[in-house]
Structure 1
Amino acid sequence: MSETLQFIKALNDEVRRHPAIHDNSFLKLVATKKFSKRAWLGFAQQLYPHVHFFIPYMEEMLLNTFDMNAKLIVAKILLDEYGEDAAGDSHPELFRQFVRACGGAEADASLLTTKLQPETITLVETHMRLCRDEKFLVGLGAIGQAHEFAIAYLFPPLVKGMELAGFTAEEMKFFSLHVDHDVEHSAMLDQAMVRLALTDDDREQIRRGTLASLEARKNLWAAMERRMVGIDNGDPPATSERSLVDVTRDYKNVPDHFWPA
């Protein structure tokens, strides 16, 4: 157990130093520059697919282990994702509230049809692979250290930038809620790591999932910086030809419509 606790501490340090977080150009820019709400809509349109798929990522993890204690931890976090921690509003619905603050009902509807940048598609495909096709511990690293732990460092710069743009606390609730709750979620997933990561190979699987997720996030942030700057300069970068609806067709049990509120 002590070996795994030391591993978690070292991995957390590695996460904090990762270029997706430490000295990241996009996070530094977005925390200090006042972007238009139109630019923030461009950001939201490209992040929403990951939010849309986050519940399916974790549901795939449930099917990827026979350890009942690990399943219980994942299931408890899923209850929050479904909306238990937000008066019944699922986390995708909370995100859509931010989108509507960017541009109303038209912006909300655009989430289905917006053409996605390649980095957004890669982010989704990477996490579906890590959580569905790889071993459970790989997905645990991707969702645990690279998300539930890392969000405390990834989201505060975004919140600062949203405040500069004039968004209210209620409109930013998706982001602030995750900063508050993901510390608890991270500690819960650490319990699963302590229970299951008994060998060097086990721990390497967790690290591999963590770093694969962060690499996809780093590439997404670089694309987001180009997009938001481009939108405010009147020259947004090109996208792929695929929309969220197109991406969901590749996956069983992932709806091509919005999650219910």
Structure 2
Amino acid sequence: MAKLDEKAFYDALEDARKPRGSGKHPFTQMWAEGKLSREQLGQWAIQHYYYISVIPPQFAVLYARMTDPVGRHLLMENLVGEEMPHAPEKSHPNLLLKFARACGVSEETVLAAEADGEILSGTRAMRSWIWELASIRPLHEACAGIMVALEGQLPTLYPLYIAALEKMGFTEDELEFFHIHVENDTEHAAVGLQLCHRFAETEEAQRLAIEAVRGSSSMRYTMLSEIQAKLVLSQAA
């Protein structure tokens, strides 16, 4: 393909996450239809915590690699939003722990999940992939694979989760993890698009950035498939 102009590149990046977007996954559909129990949601939280608990240091590594001062400023805003140094209890990992407790899963159980052999291979792969993007891959691939592919899905995915959880009786405070991502990640995805455009200076770089979006979306879809197999299909059998 020829090098795309800015708008066409943005469109291509966003289109790349659609075929394997998490919103289309059967597990998401079950969640949206209220077919998951609190126990199952708590088990999802264990897997998801392992995946996202290291997002702040991953963003810090990406920030340290960022050569562009504008890019560093944009990434710092993301990092502070994840870590919440002025209110540590509001960090995204801690908000997810709060949701897990609301599902009946203790913080100790969540934190001990790896040592207890509870972490699925797809969840491990997802976390490792983000480390690879943040620390090794070129910046245009890193920003595409993390911010566009993953954060970019949440503003449309999490409202489905929230609506179902409210019907189950979860409070707004217990759902803060989901609300904060709906509020913040539209901006984070837009930042990712800007950074991709700044660093993908060639046709090949654009192609690899688009492929990073496709790869991240596919890996998260696979992670959900493993979670569904453990929590839903195995119980049905």
Aligning the two structures, in what range does the TM-score lie when normalised by the shorter sequence? 0.7 to 0.9
More deviation in 180-189 or 90-99? Answer: 180-189
CA drift at 1:176: 1.4
Provide the residue aligned with 1:70 in structure 2. Answer: 71
Provide the residue aligned with 1:113 in structure 2. Answer: 112
Provide the residue aligned with 2:186 in structure 1. Answer: 183
Q: d(CA) in 1 for partners of 2:166 and 2:231?
A: 16
Provide the residue aligned with 2:103 in structure 1. Answer: 102
CA drift at 1:88: 5.9
Report the CA distance shift for 1:19/1:145 in structure 2 as closer, same or farther (over 3 A).
same
CA drift at 1:94: 0.9
Instruction: Give CA-to-partner distance per residue, 1:46-66, whole Å, 9 cap, x none.
Output: 110111011122112112231
CA drift at 1:155: 2.0
The question of whether the paired residues in 2 share the 8 Å contact of 1:26 and 1:221 is answered with yes
CA drift at 1:163: 2.5
Instruction: Give CA-to-partner distance per residue, 1:226-253, whole Å, 9 cap, x none.
Output: 233257x387xxxxxxxxxxxxxxxxxx
The question of whether the paired residues in 2 share the 8 Å contact of 1:21 and 1:153 is answered with no
Q: d(CA) in 2 for partners of 1:179 and 1:67?
A: 28
Give the structure-1-normalised TM-score: 0.80
The question of whether the paired residues in 1 share the 8 Å contact of 2:52 and 2:127 is answered with no
Aligned length: 231
The answer to whether residue 128 in structure 2 is matched with residue 129 in structure 1 is no
The answer to whether residue 177 in structure 2 is matched with residue 174 in structure 1 is yes
Q: Equivalences for 1:1-261 in 2 at 5 Å?
A: 3-15=5-17, 17-21=18-22, 23-83=24-84, 89-103=90-104, 107-114=106-113, 115-230=118-233, 233=235
The question of whether the paired residues in 2 share the 8 Å contact of 1:142 and 1:206 is answered with yes
CA drift at 1:84: 6.4
Report the CA distance shift for 1:161/1:85 in structure 2 as closer, same or farther (over 3 A).
farther
The question of whether the paired residues in 2 share the 8 Å contact of 1:30 and 1:161 is answered with yes
* Identity percentage of aligned residues: 23
Q: d(CA) in 2 for partners of 1:187 and 1:14?
A: 15
Report the CA distance shift for 1:39/1:85 in structure 2 as closer, same or farther (over 3 A).
farther
Instruction: Give CA-to-partner distance per residue, 1:193-242, whole Å, 9 cap, x none.
Output: 232222112212321221221111010111122233257x387xxxxxxx
Give the structure-2-normalised TM-score: 0.88
Gaps of 5+ in 2: none
Gaps of 5+ in 1: 236-261
Which residue identity lines up with residue 35 of structure 1 in the other structure? Answer: L
Report the CA distance shift for 1:117/1:2 in structure 2 as closer, same or farther (over 3 A).
closer
Aligned-partner SS, 1:35 = coil
CA RMSD across the alignment: 2.3
Report the CA distance shift for 1:53/1:222 in structure 2 as closer, same or farther (over 3 A).
same
Q: d(CA) in 2 for partners of 1:170 and 1:181?
A: 17
Provide the residue aligned with 1:254 in structure 2. Answer: none
Which residue identity lines up with residue 187 of structure 2 in the other structure? Answer: E
